[in-house]
Structures are given as C-alpha cells and as structure tokens.
C-alpha cells in the first residue's frame, strides 16, 4: 500500500515537495480527517480528498450469495452463467470469488473486492471450517465417519487430506466440515468409500451461516455484525 506522498504524486502528477505545502495548508483529507503526515499509508478503501475534490473513494463490498445448481463459480465463462451474472449491482465487475463451488453444488458463496479480506479467509493457516450438507446413493456408516476423521490420501496430488468431520443425519444424508478445499474433495472422499455423491450444499463458512431468506440465485451484502463474526480469520 502506498504512502500518501507517493499516492498523490502519482495520482495528481505533483511534486512531493509541493505536497508538504498542501498538507501544511490543510488541503488534503484522508477518511474525513485533515492529513498532516506525508508517510501516512493509503489503503485501497481510504477516501482521499484534495481541496474538497475526491481523489479516491472506493467502497469495500462483501457479498453473500446462494449459488444455484448449474451456475459456474467464475467471473467470466463462455458457456455457463456465472455467479457474477446473478448480481444486480453497478460494482459487480469489481468482485472476485472467495472459495469456489463446483458447477453442480449449491449454497453459500462469498464475493468481495477486498483482496486483503479474501486472502485472509483463504489462507490454510486460518483453519476456517466450511460446512456442507451432502446426499449420497449408498447407506452411510460409522466406519465412514472414522475414515473422514483420519484423512484420505489423494495420489494425484500426493497429499493426505486434513481430518474432516462427518456427521450422519440420515441413511443417505450427512454434514461434512472441511478445513480445506481440494479439487472436488467431498466427491472424491466419498468415491474412495465406494459411494456416489448426488448433491452438495454449502451452508456455512466458519460461523457465518447462509441466510435462509435468500432463494437460489439471490444475494445481499454482509451485515457489519456478520463481518465481525469472521474477524478472527481476517
């Protein structure tokens, strides 16, 4: 992130020596406060004004989306409708995806234009659990629970998955909690057990639950209280 002097020098094409005089005369404001330090860090969503004129005024957006089946987790796609296509906001093209779901999976997706926030949520060391409801073709057993708890070896990547929690909710229905998101991980783990997944629905990312009022394809911005629930991971 740039310092104030470098930011204004580049943005307004002024000399840094001229900036010192502008600061002394109170002509520069950052986030509603008179700027006095040329070394002040300018963040991506800082509001910067010069003589009352806005130089930078980006707003951070954090969006919860209920992804329907058949929509691709991408910002652009030549074949399928994307999650961005579902949004109705003038700033939607600024957004990127925080944690993907495959084409046939549904449920909670997060989108943002705040790269720092999305990186913090995506880091493996964040150990941010993600909750899924899963339906399969064959009867679930207590032995399956133990296999998930121990982790599974994926030969293609030469890795062993982190321990995952499998909670049986019915003969063919379970909840799965993952601390990672390997390629088609849930489907591959059940395939290892000789079972086929018929449906996956993500209902939680950490403590954040999918809003039950959101129909498939609908979205809304996260509330400040919801952002605070994710604070330990950001």
Domains of the chain (ranges plus CATH)?
4-56 (3.10.290.10), 62-233 (3.30.2350.10)
Tokens of 155: 């030969």
Give the residue ranges of DSSP H helices in the chain. 4-12, 16-24, 115-122, 142-150, 185-192, 224-229
Q: Hey, which residues are catalytic here? A: 102
Each residue's pLDDT expressed in tens, for the chain with a length of 234 residues: 789 999 998 888 888 888 889 999 999 999 999 999 999 999 889 999 999 999 988 899 999 999 999 999 999 999 999 999 999 999 999 999 998 999 999 999 999 999 999 999 987 777 899 999 999 999 999 999 999 999 988 888 888 999 999 999 999 999 999 998 888 999 999 999 999 999 999 999 999 999 999 999 999 999 999 999 987 877
Using the structure block, give the residue that is written with the tokens 């909750």: 131
Tokens of 134: 């899963």
Whether residue 60 contacts residue 73, with contact meaning beta carbons closer than 8 Å, is answered with: no
Question: Whose CA is closest to 12, among 21, 189, 4?
Answer: 4
């Amino acid at each position: 992130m740039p310092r104030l002097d470098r930011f204004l020098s580049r943005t307004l094409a002024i000399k840094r020596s001229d900036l010192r005089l502008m600061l002394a005369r109170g002509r520069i404001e950052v986030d509603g406060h008179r700027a006095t330090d040329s070394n002040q860090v300018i963040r991506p969503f800082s509001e910067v004004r010069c003589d009352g004129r806005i130089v930078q005024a980006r707003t951070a957006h954090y969006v919860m989306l209920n992804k329907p089946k058949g929509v691709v987790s991408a910002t652009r796609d030549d074949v399928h409708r994307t999650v961005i296509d579902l949004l109705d906001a003038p700033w939607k093209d600024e957004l990127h995806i925080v944690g993907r779901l495959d084409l046939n999976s549904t449920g909670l997706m997060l989108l943002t234009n705040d790269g720092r926030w999305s990186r913090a949520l995506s880091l493996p060391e964040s150990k941010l659990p993600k909750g899924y409801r899963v339906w399969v073709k064959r009867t679930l057993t207590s032995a399956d629970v133990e296999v998930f708890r121990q982790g599974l070896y994926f030969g293609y990547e030469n890795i062993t998955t982190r321990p995952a929690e499998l909670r049986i909710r019915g003969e063919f229905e379970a909840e799965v909690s993952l601390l990672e998101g390997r390629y088609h991980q849930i489907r591959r783990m059940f395939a290892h057990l000789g079972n086929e997944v018929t449906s996956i629905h993500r209902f939680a990312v950490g403590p954040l639950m999918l809003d039950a009022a959101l129909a498939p394809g609908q979205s809304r911005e996260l509330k400040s209280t919801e952002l605070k629930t994710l604070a330990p991971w950001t």
